[in-house]
A = this chain, B = another copy of it.
């Protein structure tokens, strides 16, 4: 139990009071202490569960999910996290609701929240829309709480928006921290966040943006590599640049995958759509211009097809530090010869990293649970200590 007690003491030393009764929408909204506390609470919850100690802090209560895009990993992670803390998930399926009926976001936000402790939203399809929608929902339920409509203030967890994918980047980062034996060992480590070829198109920008926005906070050298025309959002690049300055790391952009991979300790090759194209697509959808959408799709696939050499092959891997950088991906990856003819990564590279990749994904339920926990619990270290001392079995068979 000493490891749990140690981590609980570390949490006690961190300033987390602004997380209480607050949302988790962008990692760069959070202080270093808050980011650190999220990792540590995630680890503490994991340790407790591994020791078969219940971490339920709710006797009843709801966690509402709203997925405006497909999801397996995040959906199951959200349910797992809610269940771990004692909340039941109620999914808002907009198709089965009266929302089409002209109902306002303000109204829906309140109507689903009478007994909601948590709201998790994925809304990643349209540039300028997803994060804005989450902030709308947040302000409306805050207002509802202040007006006495809601008995508790539901706090939001961003399950992927147009700007950031914090549950992913935080899980990724916890994987890195554990892989390198602690956040204190990351200074000067090089990570290549690289575009990679995919035969599909229109993949969200939230992963590369989330990675450069978070990984630059740990004194790492972050290289963002992509072909010309695949730029991410300017203001997220600014976040990355400022982070790098503040922590003594660096943020470098390149149009050369090899340059990024050169001596990298970590590589994260993944396809995404150009920001400008996604912006254009959002406008076309707003106008209902189906011909325009089809034309854009064709154009984007043709553009992608010029860059099939952006693949994480063994040759590429051989450029990395000691030829064995940690390969990362948010999954599912487009694996050459397995899920597609030509994709983001060769099968032999993917296969060699399969177990670490799955472990990477396995941090997500705990990261989400930690985000929920810190938004609900006033004194996290005290509550964790109570759970430890209470020592209720999760499974008592």
Main secondary structure of the interface of A (DSSP, over half): mixed
For the complex, give the distance between the alpha carbons of A104 and B347 in Å: 12
For the complex, give the distance between the alpha carbons of A38 and B76 in Å: 30
Residues on the B chain within 8 Å of A76, using CB? 64, 90, 92, 111-112, 114
- Residue pair A62, B80 in contact (C-beta under 8 Å): yes
Segment touching B, from A181-189, A245-253, A354-362: A354-362
- Given contacts A54-B59, A72-B92, A373 and B394 within 8 Å (CB-CB): no
- Residue pair A103, B61 in contact (C-beta under 8 Å): no
A349 at interface (Cβ–Cβ under 8 A)? no
- Residue pair A88, B79 in contact (C-beta under 8 Å): yes
- Given contacts A340-B102, A397-B57, A331 and B111 within 8 Å (CB-CB): yes
Please pick, from B144, B149, B151, B335, the residue contacting A49 in the complex, using a CB distance under 8 A: B151
Q: How far is the CB of A110 from chain B (nearest CB, A)?
A: 5
- Mask of A86-120 contacts with B, CB within 8 angstroms, 1/0: 10111010001111011110111011101101000
Please pick, from B84, B332, B396, the residue contacting A98 in the complex, using a CB distance under 8 A: B332
- Residue pair A59, B111 in contact (C-beta under 8 Å): no
- Mask of A128-160 contacts with B, CB within 8 angstroms, 1/0: 000000000000000010011111000000000
Segment touching B, from A26-34, A276-284, A316-324, A375-383: A375-383
Q: How far is the CB of A303 from chain B (nearest CB, A)?
A: 21
- Given contacts A57-B395, A332-B103, A359-B149, A72 and B90 within 8 Å (CB-CB): no
- Residue pair A114, B57 in contact (C-beta under 8 Å): no
A71 at interface (Cβ–Cβ under 8 A)? yes
Q: Which of A54, A96, A106 has the most chain B CB atoms inside 10 A of its CB?
A: A96
- Find the B residue at minimum CB distance from A148: B359
Number of copies: 3
- Residue pair B98, A358 in contact (C-beta under 8 Å): no
Ranked nearest first, the 10 interchain pairs of A and B with the lowest CB-CB distance are A102-B339, A377-B397, A80-B115, A72-B97, A103-B332, A57-B397, A149-B358, A54-B59, A79-B90, A147-B355
Residues on the B chain within 8 Å of A75, using CB? 96-97
User: Which bracket fits the contact residues of A?
Assistant: 35 or more
Please pick, from B61, B144, B334, B392, the residue contacting A395 in the complex, using a CB distance under 8 A: B61
Q: How far is the CB of A26 from chain B (nearest CB, A)?
A: 23
Please pick, from B103, B114, B148, the residue contacting A77 in the complex, using a CB distance under 8 A: B114
A365 at interface (Cβ–Cβ under 8 A)? yes
- Find the B residue at minimum CB distance from A392: B59
A305 at interface (Cβ–Cβ under 8 A)? no
Residues on the B chain within 8 Å of A57, using CB? 395-397
Please pick, from B62, B114, B362, B393, the residue contacting A362 in the complex, using a CB distance under 8 A: B114
- Residue pair A80, B114 in contact (C-beta under 8 Å): yes
